[in-house]
Every structure is written in structure tokens, then in C-alpha cells.
């Protein structure tokens, strides 16, 4: 089979992997005369706000596991494909050299065990880094059951590594992926990454530093609630320092046991992302959020604004004296704005709406929750008028 036909087969269902994605686009292939479709490229948001076109692919779509939600499950009848590490590296580099993709997200089905497939992912990364001198972005998946030394080796080459928990706890995972072991195969590997980062010197690594770490959960089919998801997320963020947790809202796949299961509302995933960022970057804790009788977040209300309505509307914060932690609780103010406020306050007080505008802060977002020299901005505006 032509390698770009293989690539299409390996990439066409990779939307099941949320990692990195902002949006996806079918890009023209450099050998499009030999290809019926086009490889899937994802535009990933990188540090600093830049976006990078990334090829999302697999070493093989053959899989011996039978996860009920997965398009690659062993019992599903579809055409599969496999790359050798050399084929994967050279095919990606062809796309890289023609500016179609600038980074690689590489996963795999499990064929012959997680250890075997992990070795092939490592070999691909090693070829790209040491033989081909590729210095761009690599996100490499950790396979269920991978060995400690394999993970350490993979981390030498990657900018990011990840292993998907898929569910917040063993009971939920068993209902959708009965052949996966939550503790022994998945959770323990997240712990190993954190242990390696804490106890080993990264100076021999490609970047001279350890890669970031992420995981993914599938939202909807296991019947989990948001309390379960966010308790697990809070633990992972605080203890393993995850860069991000991806929440893949379930969408049914034909010819799987869950093909008639209703799709999950994408807004649920959006709210979970919002809360996870508040846990990671804003100093919020799990106890700060409200849930309904089902253990779900309110899909109609922004969780940060809901907290502010409950806690700040009748007790606004004096912006000229507020601590960093207090400022981060105000809707419309994030970590970058907090740093700007701190620098501004070293020179002068924030006294007016114009000062807020200069800092890029919307008066409509913050007016109910702050004081300027003891008065609300709304009162000051009315008085001036």
C-alpha cells in the first residue's frame, strides 16, 4: 500500500484524540495524485499563543483491545494499516519539509502488547531526533503497560508525553474499556513520569528539560458525573503537575457497542475545561464549585462568574490592595492581567475606567466585583456623568 494511503487510514479517526486540538483541517498531500483523501492536520495552541500545524497519526490502527467507544477496537470491521518506525519518520518528514506539518503527535493501537508498541514509538522518535536531526515538536503517547525504562527513554526525545486514563476511576473505566487496567496500566504510568521528572537529571534530553505531561478522559459513556471527573482532575493537577487534562465529549462511532448511545453535549466538555484551568492556574479548589443533584456543573453559567456572583457581588475587592490570589478570582482577569496590574500599581493607583482599559480589562466584566478607591466603577461613572 502507498505510504500516503496508509497515512490517511492511520489519521482519519484520530479525532478521538483530543490532545493538542484547536481545530482540524484536511490539508493537501504532497503526493495528492496518488491519494484519495488527505492526512489530518491539527492546529495546536503552543506556549505564547502561537499555533502549530501538527500531524496526528498512529504507528498502527491494529488493536487487540476492545474499548466500547473506540473506532480502533479489535471487533470493528474496517481497513487497518501499519507503519514501521522508519516509514513513519520519513513520511512525516516529507510533510514537514513541504510545510504541511511542523510537529508530530504519535499514538498507536496495541498489537502484541503495550511494551512492543512503545518500542516502536520510541524508535520513531529516536530516528527523528538523532538520525534526521528534527528539532520540532513531538508529542509521544505512552502505551498502557509500558515499562519504566521505556518511558524514561521516550521522555528524552519528546516535548510532551501523555497516557489516556479515559475515565476518572477504575469502576468507570471498566464499563467502557473492560480490557484496560486503570491502576496497573495507566495511573501508575502517570506516577512514573512524575517520579522521573523529580529524580533524574534531564541534561541528556533533547531539550535539556523534561517534557510536559497530559491525559484525556472520555466524557459521557461511562455514566460518570462532573464531581468524579473534577475530583480526579484536581488530584492529577496537584500531585502530578499535568500541563492539561483533555475532556473528549463522547460521539458515537458506527459498528461499536455504543453506536446508539447519545452524544455528549459539547458544552459539558467546555465547562470542565474552564474548571480545570481554574484549578491549575487560578488557585481555585474543588470545594469552590457548585454541582446539581446529579453531580453536574450548570451548563448555562460560567463557573468563575458563578463563584464571583456568590462571593464577590456583595463583598467587592479593592483592586489597588488585592493580592494576586484575590485578583485571580475576579471574572475578566487572568494571570497575565494580574501581572500587568502588579506592575501598574508599583507606579500609581488604578483610579478610573480609563486605567482599567489601559490594562485591557473590560469594565462590564469586573464592575460588580471590584472597588476603585473604595467605590464601585459604576458609581464613579454615574457621578462623572
Cα 294–Cα 300–Cα 304 angle in degrees, nearest 5: 95
- Name the nearest CA neighbour of 87 among 208, 1, 191: 1
The per-residue pLDDT for range 270-289, each reduced to its tens digit, is 999 999 999 999 999 999 99
DSSP letters along 182-194, please?
A: IIIIIIHHHHHHH
Please report the beta strands in 142-294, taking only residues with DSSP state E, as ranges in sequence order: 160-162, 212-219, 244-249
Residue 285 carries which DSSP code? -
The per-residue pLDDT for range 328-381, each reduced to its tens digit, is 999 999 999 999 999 999 999 999 989 999 999 999 999 999 999 888 886 554
Q: Calculate Rg over the CA atoms of the chain.
A: 23
Query: Which run of H or of E encompasses 324?
Result: helix 324-327
- The residue ranges of every structural domain in the chain are 3-218, 312-384
pTM: 0.89
- Name the nearest CA neighbour of 16 among 64, 66, 56: 56
C-alpha distance from residue 76 to each of 70, 80, 260, 309, 335 (Å): 9, 10, 15, 49, 46
- Name the nearest CA neighbour of 378 among 316, 306, 304, 303: 316
Which pLDDT score is estimated for 21? 53
pLDDT exceeds cutoff 60 at 383: no
C-alpha distance from residue 351 to each of 313, 357, 358 (Å): 20, 11, 11
- Which band of pLDDT confidence, cut at 50, 70 and 90, is reported for residue 20? low
pLDDT exceeds cutoff 60 at 22: no
What is the length of the chain?
Answer: 385
The per-residue pLDDT for range 144-161, each reduced to its tens digit, is 999 999 999 999 999 999
Long-range contacts of 291-296 (CB under 8 A, 24+ apart): 291/225, 291/226, 291/227, 294/225, 295/225, 295/226, 295/227, 295/228, 296/225, 296/226, 296/268
- Which band of pLDDT confidence, cut at 50, 70 and 90, is reported for residue 49? confident
The per-residue pLDDT for range 306-317, each reduced to its tens digit, is 999 999 999 999
- Name the nearest CA neighbour of 63 among 206, 154, 202, 177: 177
Q: Is 131 exposed, middle or buried (0-12, 13-18, 19+ CB in 10 A)?
A: exposed
Could you say which architecture CATH assigns to the domain 3-218? Alpha-Beta Barrel (3.20)
Rounded Cα gap, residues 232 and 175, in angstroms: 17
Rounded Cα gap, residues 325 and 288, in angstroms: 14
Average pLDDT of 225-243? 96
Residue 54 carries which DSSP code? E
Average pLDDT of 12-28? 54
pLDDT exceeds cutoff 80 at 290: yes
pLDDT exceeds cutoff 90 at 37: no
Query: Which run of H or of E encompasses 276?
Result: helix 266-281
Average pLDDT of 32-45? 55
Average pLDDT of 286-310? 96
Which pLDDT score is estimated for 380? 52
Rounded Cα gap, residues 267 and 290, in angstroms: 16
Three-class SS state of 245 = strand
Rounded Cα gap, residues 251 and 135, in angstroms: 35
Q: Which residues have C-beta within 8 Å of that of residue 108, sequence separation ≥ 6?
A: 58, 59, 60, 117, 120, 121, 141, 143
Q: Is 236 exposed, middle or buried (0-12, 13-18, 19+ CB in 10 A)?
A: buried
CB 224 within 8 A of CB 165: no
Which pLDDT score is estimated for 36? 36
Which pLDDT score is estimated for 50? 82
Which pLDDT score is estimated for 332? 94
- Name the nearest CA neighbour of 159 among 89, 197, 209: 209
Helices 85-97 and 3-11: angle between axes, nearest 10 degrees: 90
Which pLDDT score is estimated for 376? 83
Looking at the chain, the whole-number percentage of residues with pLDDT higher than 90 is 82
C-alpha distance from residue 143 to each of 8, 185, 285 (Å): 22, 8, 31
The per-residue pLDDT for range 330-345, each reduced to its tens digit, is 999 999 999 999 999 9
Rounded Cα gap, residues 312 and 322, in angstroms: 13
Which pLDDT score is estimated for 336? 94
Amino acid at each position: 500500500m502507498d505510504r500516503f494511503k496508509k497515512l490517511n487510514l492511520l489519521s482519519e479517526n484520530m479525532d478521538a484524540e483530543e490532545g493538542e486540538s484547536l481545530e482540524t483541517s484536511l490539508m493537501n498531500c504532497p503526493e495528492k495524485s496518488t491519494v484519495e483523501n488527505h492526512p489530518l492536520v491539527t492546529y495546536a495552541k503552543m506556549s505564547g499563543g502561537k499555533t502549530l500545524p501538527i500531524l496526528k497519526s498512529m504507528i498502527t490502527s491494529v488493536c487487540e483491545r476492545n474499548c466500547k467507544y473506540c473506532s480502533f477496537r479489535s471487533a470493528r470491521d474496517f481497513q487497518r494499516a501499519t507503519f514501521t518506525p522508519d516509514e513513519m519518520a520519513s513520511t512525516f518528514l516529507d510533510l514537514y519539509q513541504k510545510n504541511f506539518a511542523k510537529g508530530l503527535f504519535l499514538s498507536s493501537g496495541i498489537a502484541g502488547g503495550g511494551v512492543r508498541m512503545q518500542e516502536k514509538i520510541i524508535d520513531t522518535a529516536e530516528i527523528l531526533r538523532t538520525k534526521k536531526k528534527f528539532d520540532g515538536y513531538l508529542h509521544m503517547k505512552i502505551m498502557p503497560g509500558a515499562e519504566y525504562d521505556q518511558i524514561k527513554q521516550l521522555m528524552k526525545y519528546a516535548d510532551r508525553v501523555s497516557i489516556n486514563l479515559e475515565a476518572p476511576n477504575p469502576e468507570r473505566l471498566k464499563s467502557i474499556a473492560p480490557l484496560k487496567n486503570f491502576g496497573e496500566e495507566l495511573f501508575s504510568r502517570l506516577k512514573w513520569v512524575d517520579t522521573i521528572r523529580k529524580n533524574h537529571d534531564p541534561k541528556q534530553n533533547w531539550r535539556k528539560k523534561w517534557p510536559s505531561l497530559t491525559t484525556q478522559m472520555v466524557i459521557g459513556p461511562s455514566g460518570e458525573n462532573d464531581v468524579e471527573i473534577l475530583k480526579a482532575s484536581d488530584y492529577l493537577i496537584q500531585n502530578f503537575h499535568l500541563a492539561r487534562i483533555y475532556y473528549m465529549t463522547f460521539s458515537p462511532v458506527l459498528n461499536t457497542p455504543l453506536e446508539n448511545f447519545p452524544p455528549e453535549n459539547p458544552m459539558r466538555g467546555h465547562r470542565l475545561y474552564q474548571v480545570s484551568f481554574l484549578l491549575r492556574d487560578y488557585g481555585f479548589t474543588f470545594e469552590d464549585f457548585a454541582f446539581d443533584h446529579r453531580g453536574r456543573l450548570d451548563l448555562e453559567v460560567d463557573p468563575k462568574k458563578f463563584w464571583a456572583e456568590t462571593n464577590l457581588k456583595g463583598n467587592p475587592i479593592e483592586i489597588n490592595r488585592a493580592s494576586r490570589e484575590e485578583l485571580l478570582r475576579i471574572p475578566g482577569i487572568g494571570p497575565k492581567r494580574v501581572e500587568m496590574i502588579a506592575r501598574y500599581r508599583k507606579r500609581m493607583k488604578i483610579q478610573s475606567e480609563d486605567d482599567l482599559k489601559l490594562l485591557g480589562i473590560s469594565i462590564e466584566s469586573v464592575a460588580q466585583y471590584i472597588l476603585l478607591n473604595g467605590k464601585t466603577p459604576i458609581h464613579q461613572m454615574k457621578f462623572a456623568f
